[in-house]
Structure 1
């Protein structure tokens, strides 16, 4: 199949090109994200490969249908960026990569925790300027702390295993409790109890209408004073304005985010020479106890290779008319 590949980066090319030979597929890499201005680039192709910030709404889907696109291959696990009902009505099939390297995201979440708790990012900047003072670098132990995990899917489970190794008490909330995690020592509780008893809260759930702004003024009020909040899942799980207020009044002691509610206008771009127009993220980055990374939790060699292999396998299965184990449909 001829595939129009949107939001392409150098690491995408490297990983997909590893498995492209002999696959029977041809990829045209476009750096532009898929939107109303770029959708015409899909003309002459049989499938579209898209990523997290390619907004595939009804308008885009209708245009893709006119261009005779019948397959959208998401090279990510999340699919909140696509209008599944419209896709189904147009007969456009949607597949995704449900799991690639859960450990990659889980490890990054813990990297945020460790960096914030021991202030290693500040120490790094200091010593590069020959400042070896320890003033202001007092950290906190992770061992013995209670960690609340919201969502125990593949990534949440990987995160729990890491937390267990650090000697943490692990509380979790999920609509589907895992027996495997219970055997590990994870205690499932109602959401309010997890929030009110955890020193560190890490989000690992999908973005749905029910989970949008799961972290808001009301839920933050239930948390321990000085709580550490970590989000490597989806930006809109968090009400950014509410979090800023909680940082200002010290309700949230540390914030580590790899995702952001309005990230499609910022992340994956080099804005070095530009003035930041998003006032909320600009405000977040003024706090000394906030660490922001630009949606890089997935970015490991192992994860990229898995994403490429599974995406190409999905496309091959569609082309051959085989059963699509990674197809997603409107509920």
Structure 2
């Protein structure tokens, strides 16, 4: 079976090829699936996509018309997929339901510590042999309050690290996590969490109900010297409202690994282009804001687990099984001749 994998990073390629070796032929391309690139998939029964792929109605219809029967997305989130249209077309859609939560939790802490201790500014200065400390003062986190929005596996991993720092713990979720409660976390309403937390971190999926979970009112309710971190999905934060608060001099630091309009930007080299996104251009000018390119998941362990799950998803499809990662079961594959 030939498989086409879209949006494959250079570090991923040998891992993907090794995982499928001896079972299927996999053709890896670094372009992302979109209306412009979907013709490449013609003739491939199985297509694997990355997190920023366009899997809206038009692309799905083109995939189905070209013979694709399985879309195997190499991510947990699936807000980019029109599942209703996939069901209508009889396409099978699978995702990766989980991978190393430590990859994202540890990176969230990396962002938090970097903006708190002004690491990027300090590193830039020392490269110019400027060793002054002016403007580099951070804060101890011990005894301060960490607010965790979303206490699933990643939120729990973040909470364990916060507990190690000696922080007070507030949580918000539809279901309380006993492991977090055992660490001393108090579950409170979102408004209380935002008002009382010195560090706010987001670990919830992007759904219609969570779009702009942190909007203008929520940002206004946070402490002026709070730290805000988002390693989940960009659409959880109203970025225009965030820029407005930053222009007013609020927040000690903001660490963003995701951005709500990142498709077409993140994972690509735009260094020689004129970036027309005024909001992002303004965001990266603030000295206490750190934006990274959706790399929180990008550890050897996590990527290997994502690829292994994708291999299982392909095997389930070919065997006519509905696995734990199946979002849309689709029509069974044709019987071999």
**TM-aligned CA deviation for residue 329 of structure 1:** 4.2
What secondary structure is seen at the aligned counterpart in 2 of 1:194?
A: helix
- 1:53 alignment counterpart: 52
- 1:18 alignment counterpart: 18
**TM-aligned CA deviation for residue 102 of structure 1:** 0.8
- 1:305 alignment counterpart: 304
**TM-aligned CA deviation for residue 216 of structure 1:** 0.8
Aligned partners of 2:116 and 2:252 also within 8 Å: no
Aligned partners of 1:267 and 1:294 also within 8 Å: yes
**TM-aligned CA deviation for residue 142 of structure 1:** 1.5
- 1:5 alignment counterpart: 5
Matched, 1:88 2:87: yes
Partners of 1:145 and 1:15 in 2: how far apart?
Answer: 41
Note the alpha carbon deviations across 1:169-197, whole angstroms, 9 max, x for none. Answer: 11111011111211121111111111111
Aligned partners of 2:225 and 2:250 also within 8 Å: yes
**TM-aligned CA deviation for residue 322 of structure 1:** 2.6
What secondary structure is seen at the aligned counterpart in 2 of 1:201?
A: strand
- 1:125 alignment counterpart: 124
- Counterparts of residues 195-206 of structure 1 (less than 5 Å): 195-206=194-205
Aligned partners of 2:121 and 2:287 also within 8 Å: no
- 1:76 alignment counterpart: 75
- 1:191 alignment counterpart: 190
Matched, 1:149 2:148: yes
Q: Which runs of 5+ in 2 are unaligned?
A: 330-337
Partners of 1:119 and 1:229 in 2: how far apart?
Answer: 14
After superposing on structure 2, the runs of 4+ consecutive aligned residues of structure 1 that deviate more than 3 Å are: none
What secondary structure is seen at the aligned counterpart in 2 of 1:263?
A: coil
The number of residue pairs the alignment matches comes to 329
Partners of 2:234 and 2:35 in 1: how far apart?
Answer: 23
Matched, 1:266 2:265: yes
Matched, 1:217 2:204: no
Give the structure-1-normalised TM-score: 0.96
Aligned partners of 2:202 and 2:229 also within 8 Å: yes
**TM-aligned CA deviation for residue 152 of structure 1:** 1.0
Provide the aligned C-alpha RMSD in A. Answer: 1.3
Partners of 1:329 and 1:156 in 2: how far apart?
Answer: 27
- 2:111 alignment counterpart: 112
Partners of 2:119 and 2:254 in 1: how far apart?
Answer: 15
Matched, 1:237 2:236: yes
Q: Point out the more displaced range, 224-233 or 205-214.
A: 224-233
What secondary structure is seen at the aligned counterpart in 2 of 1:48?
A: strand
